[in-house]
């Protein structure tokens, strides 16, 4: 029997053609693995110096280990996850970190036994809100886009702060359904705190889920065009309903600091806010009121010092530190792109207002105070701050 050649590691049989093929394959695989790791490490170095992509008006929030880059997430090298490559094979992650929202909603995924990262159990990245379109079946008029609760930058009119009793707008109605009034939906903004503090002193404390109740009246008037200026005509429909309204959440110093200090982070909007938004729907049961082509819609409610029947200061909430929730209740006012989305805005610069304070009017009260009247000007005035309402017909 012929003795085989021997080397330092002991006896060894000569490799067959198939064996050499396997060796060469392993060498090529190892080279590919080293090249992939070098490229990935270089990509990570570039990503680590990137600035987190940020939605306007929002504060970027970073999950440890996640690097935001241009609104998407950079792929982190496998070594940062502590995942060793599978021995003998080039390590290629089967699921690189998917792109997501700028706040880094995907935490580091766990390592799978075969070296592959499974897709992390993270919520779907939110779709951008629709803030320039709206309307729908039986909507005769609306100034509110489809995702008004998620749209950024929502100004509002405070009834107590501006001495207001009633507020609304003159609108033209699109022909829908039978033309009889079904409902009025209005955007409100609640700035009140339930336990202590105030939104403007940046020390709001609210029990999670805390609410208060308050009666609010919705009115729909005909338009009297007999004079030089439109004014409320016959009261076509009215309803007073008691609503449950949320207090705004407590200040969130972890997510809202610097210029946003005292605010709370609204995940639906992706930004810090001082108020909580609430859509209230007024129904008109049993009043099959046919509507003309133009109407004036309004809402009215009482506060401590203002309203048609001011509540007064002899209340428990007024004597408390945070005050009364209804004194911090506002009506949303914003002219969204392309609005209105159904119907027409009769006077783009005007709104209907009843305030006791002259400075609340664009004309400084020259046209009178304490009555519901058109407040307008040749330019500006309410042009960027239209009352946010929606009228539906049956």
276 with 145, same domain: the answer is: yes
H or E segment and range at residue 219: strand 211-224
Whole-angstrom Cα distance, residue 303 to residue 158?
10
Q: How many domains does the chain have?
A: 2
Percent of the chain past pLDDT 90, that is, above it, reads 64
Q: Is residue 20 part of a domain?
A: no
- Give the pLDDT confidence of 343-352 residue by residue, as tens digits: 999 999 999 9
Q: What is the pLDDT of residue 127?
A: 83
Strands (E), 301-388: 329-332, 344-345, 351-355, 373-375
Whole-angstrom Cα distance, residue 330 to residue 57?
21
Which residue, of 59, 91, 126, is where some domain finishes? Answer: 126
Range of the domain at 271: 139-393
- Give the pLDDT confidence of 306-363 residue by residue, as tens digits: 999 999 999 999 999 999 999 999 999 999 999 999 999 999 999 999 999 999 999 9
Which residue, of 75, 98, 126, is where some domain finishes? Answer: 126
Cβ–Cβ < 8 Å for 169, 389: yes
Q: What is the pLDDT of residue 26?
A: 59
Q: What is the pLDDT of residue 255?
A: 96
194 with 330, same domain: the answer is: yes
- Cis peptide, bond prior to residue 155, ω within 30 of zero: no
Q: What is the pLDDT of residue 384?
A: 97
Mean pLDDT in runs of 10 for the chain (394 residues)? 38 50 57 51 39 34 29 33 37 44 48 47 68 96 98 97 98 87 97 97 98 98 97 97 98 97 95 98 87 97 98 97 97 98 97 98 96 93 97 94
143 with 289, same domain: the answer is: yes
Q: Quick check: pTM over 0.75?
A: no
């Amino acid at each position: 029997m012929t003795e085989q050649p021997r080397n330092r590691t002991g006896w060894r049989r000569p490799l067959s053609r198939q064996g050499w093929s396997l060796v060469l394959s392993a060498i090529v695989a190892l080279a590919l693995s080293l090249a992939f790791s070098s490229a990935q490490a270089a990509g990570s170095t570039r990503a680590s110096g990137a600035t987190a992509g940020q939605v306007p008006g929002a504060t970027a929030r970073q999950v440890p280990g996640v690097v935001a880059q241009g609104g998407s997430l950079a792929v982190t090298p496998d070594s940062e996850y502590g995942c060793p490559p599978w021995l003998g094979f080039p390590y290629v992650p089967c699921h690189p970190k998917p792109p997501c929202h700028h706040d880094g909603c995907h935490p580091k995924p766990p390592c799978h036994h075969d070296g592959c990262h499974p897709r992390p159990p993270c919520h779907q990245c939110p779709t951008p809100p629709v803030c320039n379109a709206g309307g729908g079946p039986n909507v005769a008029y609306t100034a509110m886009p489809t995702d008004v609760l998620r749209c950024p930058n929502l100004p509002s009119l405070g009834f107590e702060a501006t001495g207001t009793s009633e507020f609304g707008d003159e609108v033209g109605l699109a022909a829908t359904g039978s033309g009889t009034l079904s409902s009025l939906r209005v955007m409100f903004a609640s700035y009140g705190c339930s336990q202590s503090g105030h939104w403007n002193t940046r020390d709001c404390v609210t029990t999670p889920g805390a609410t208060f109740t308050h009666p609010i009246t919705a009115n729909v008037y005909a338009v009297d065009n007999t004079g030089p200026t439109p004014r409320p005509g016959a009261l076509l429909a009215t309803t007073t309903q008691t609503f449950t309204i949320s207090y705004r959440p407590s200040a969130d110093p972890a997510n809202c600091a610097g210029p946003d200090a005292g605010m709370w982070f609204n995940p639906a909007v992706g930004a810090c806010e001082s108020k909580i938004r609430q859509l209230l729907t007024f129904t008109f049961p049993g009043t099959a009121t046919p509507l003309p082509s133009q109407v004036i819609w309004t809402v009215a409610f009482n506060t401590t010092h203002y309203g048609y029947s001011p509540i007064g200061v002899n209340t428990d909430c007024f004597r408390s530190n945070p005050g009364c929730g209804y004194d911090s209740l506002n009506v949303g006012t914003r002219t969204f792109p392309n609005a209105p989305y159904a119907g027409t805005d009769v006077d783009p610069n005007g709104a209907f207002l009843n305030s006791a304070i002259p400075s609340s009017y664009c004309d400084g009260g020259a046209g009178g105070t304490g009555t519901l009247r058109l407040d307008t000007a040749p330019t500006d005035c309410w042009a960027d701050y239209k009352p946010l309402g929606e009228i539906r017909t049956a």
